[in-house]
Chain A
Amino acid sequence: MVEEGAPTPAPDASHARIARAMTHAPGPDQLLQMYAAMLRVRRFEERARELYHAGRIPGFIHLSVGQEGVAVGVGAALRRDDYLLSTHRGHGHLIAKGGSLRALMAEIFGKATGCCKGKGGSMHIADASVGYLGANGVLASGCVLAPGVGLSIQMRGTDQVVAVLFGDGAANRGPFHEGVNLSALWRAPVVFVCENNSWASTTAHELSTAGGSIAARAAGYGIPGVAVDGNDALAVHAAVAEAVRRARGGDGPSLIEAKTVRWLGHHEGDPQAYRPKSEVEEGRRQDPIARLRAHLEGAALLDAAHAARVAQAIEADVEDAIAFAESSPLPEPHHALDDLFVHWPWKD
């Protein structure tokens, strides 16, 4: 289902997809890393959910349980020095980019040891050390930052790329169109990845998105547009790897629409009265983690004992992050006045 500018992406695997997937196919080690990364995202968020409902996490959290195939498919196709711009539903994106679980958990706890010293919170995390240039509380805003990051890469003469994640709801905001247009004009090394979970908060995709296909919008800007099964981490990886290859080679941006399922509410506490339960049940049957595990088992790369070891290690990492967050100090209140400017010698 890798079809450039396809107006209605076919849901089944096509020869083109398989052929391209082969060229960027991850090796055994990377497949296992992707499996572990998805499980790490899943367990981090499941535990964050429990802690949120236990009153340990202030504010709001937007979880990506069920969507790990997109986060990890993207993350695995990027280098550590590549950039990623993310969304309000961005914990998984940061974990997939290699961010510290401790600093992330501490941040969403509002602790001084958080990656943003407690100033950002769940919706505004960032970790520049792994090129994660920020989640964003405003939808599609990353889409206009991306061409500038791409321009910087071009002017500095490196072979980095920037991937920008956004939801299907964001694809209906102006900055999406402005950002894709400018990136295409500049042939900037940008990979636009729409994480289409079919719900813009509580509004269904078909009620918010004319034309149906977000991938098809790429055709209007003369760039490749690809729709993939976002519950298949390997399909996401193949599409992103191809887009990254193009971007690194100077062939400009691509748009990937990864269709996935948000298992939980828009935010924790969303009763989801607008949505049939069957949809989530169907989503669970397409669990991206179970799918990759089945693939790994089929290829004899993973057995039950190995899987248990992986799960155990992840459990330990997540619990370590929680312990770190719980034991970290809250910020001193007056630190609310720090970090606004690099240079502020004035008393005012």
Chain B
Amino acid sequence: MPVMDFGDALNLALKEEMRRDGRVYCIGEDIVLGLPFGVTKGLAEEFGLARVRNAPISEAAIVGSSLGAAMTGLVPVVDMHFADFVTCAMDEVVNQIAKSRYMFGGQIACPLTLRMPYGIGKSAGGHHSNSVEAWFVNTPGLKVCMPSTPADARGLLKTAIRDPDPVLIFEHRALYRVQGEVPAEETLVPLGAADVKRAGTDVTVIATARMVGEALLAAEMLAEEGISAEVVDPRSLVPLDRATLAASVAKTHRVVIAEEGPMRASVGAWLAWVVMEQSFDELDAPIARVAAPDVPIPFSPPMEAFVTAHAGQIVAAARELMK
């Protein structure tokens, strides 16, 4: 199987979908040059500037125009540049894109994809580092996915583009240059299908995106202590594959939920409720959570490292559950 990095896998998905469907176009800031993370590089050369559209720094217009285009027959793929900047288009995402189909009684569809480069790292500071997926999981009308591997990135982005509804795909900045095997043939990864990234018997670690890698590292460390951790990656949060979570908990009876965003009212808090609701009788210990402290992301490296969720915290939480 060919090996490529996460960013190139996304690039491949865009090329495949733009070749397949002439209605698909990309829009964002600096995307003709492939900035900021290389995902759109080479697209303008192949598809031209009409379908690879550099936009002014006008997030409301970038996102809002994509809804206007989607409801009248096009299939936009929006590059949010940094997910943090979606705040400048919150009305467009939350009030317009998420609600239009519902509010209008199903008269219109909104087949658009919002690519959300996000996440902590490299001292990007408070306006370029945040995990904002919880806002959108809490917004009815949006589908939300979070790939952790190059193969999942390609397969989920292709699915997102083909989906007739709005899909947000969160691409962690720290993963763009991570390598992995990607099937040579065209492969879709469905929404609502979790993936067990490592099988185990003692504790289930639920993690998405960058935290999957941390969870796998934690599982290696726990194995040395004789603790067998199973790593479950939901891959999409909306829809959520509850059955795979339930099956894992039925096997391990202990759960650590790891996420990069802040602790309060988060995706992890919701997943903990899902596990409690569907697997209460299976649990042998309280559900443990790993998340960031409830502060903005600080700039200086030691402070940034301090608030970055990591494998060591997962190991500590799992150990505690095994006592």
Spell out A's residues near B (CB within 8 Å): 83, 85, 114-120, 124, 126-128, 133-134, 136-138, 141, 143-153, 155-156, 162, 174-175, 178-179, 181-182, 185, 338-344, 346, 348
Contact = CB atoms under 8 A, between A and B. Distances in A.
Nearest to B111: A342
Given A126-B107, A141-B91, A153 B58 contact: no
Interface of B: 23, 25, 50, 55-56, 58, 60-61, 63-74, 76, 91-92, 95-96, 100-109, 111, 140-141, 143, 163-165, 192, 238-240, 242
A152 B70 CA distance: 8
B68 A145 contact: yes
Contacts of A143: 64
A152 B96 CA distance: 18
Contacts, number: 159
Contacts of A136: 96
A238 to B, nearest CB: 27
Given A119-B103, A175-B60, A155 B25 contact: yes
Given A145-B67, A343-B163, A344-B239, A116 B60 contact: no
B105 A117 contact: yes
A149 B25 CA distance: 14
Contact of A146 (B68, B73, B103, B108): B68
Contacts of A146: 65, 68
Contacts of B23: 155
B64 A144 contact: yes
Contacts of A174: 60
Nearest to B108: A128
B70 A126 contact: no
A126 B108 contact: yes
12 contacts: A83-B72, A116-B104, A117-B106, A118-B105, A136-B96, A143-B64, A152-B73, A175-B92, A181-B56, A339-B102, A342-B109, A346-B192
Tell which of B72, B91, B92, B111 has the most Cβ of chain A within 10 Å: B72
Contacts of A85: 68
A179 B239 CA distance: 32
Contacts of A182: 55-56, 58, 61, 65
Contact of B58 (A141, A151, A178): A178
B90 to A, nearest CB: 10
Contacts of B61: 144, 147, 175, 178-179, 181-182
